[in-house]
Amino acid sequence: MPIYFFNFLAKPLPEAESYGVAASAYVNCWIEAAKQTEAESLARQYILEYGWEVESKEDSFKVSREAYEEDEERLPYFERAVSDGSCLVYHSWGVDTHDE
């Protein structure tokens, strides 16, 4: 089954462990599904189950192992999606972080 990559901008909901600590995050998602629409639905569901709300979808496309062969940082995420069906990585920043 194919793997799809998504990048979402999300924020923690009040019940999230990160609420009050993290302002927002980019969530990179590798999801195994038959169709891209199904993969996106699953990604959004997993983010919500973790206590975060998607604000916007930044990127999405189908990926293959070959795309990560020279990317030692992201290859394990892709491989985890192959073995477990999904992998989500949160890149968050704190509520005290200000853009200058």
pLDDT digits (tens, 9 = 90+) for 6-24: 999 999 999 988 898 999 9
d(CA 36, CA 39): 5
pLDDT beneath 50, residues of the chain? 98-100
Count the alpha carbons within 13 Å of 8 in the hemisphere toward its beta carbon: 25
> How big is the chain, counted in residues?
100
CA dihedral 53, 73, 40, 94 (to 10 degrees): 10
User: Which ranges constitute the DSSP H helices of the chain?
Assistant: 36-49, 75-84
Domain assignments of the chain as residue spans, ordered by start: 3-94
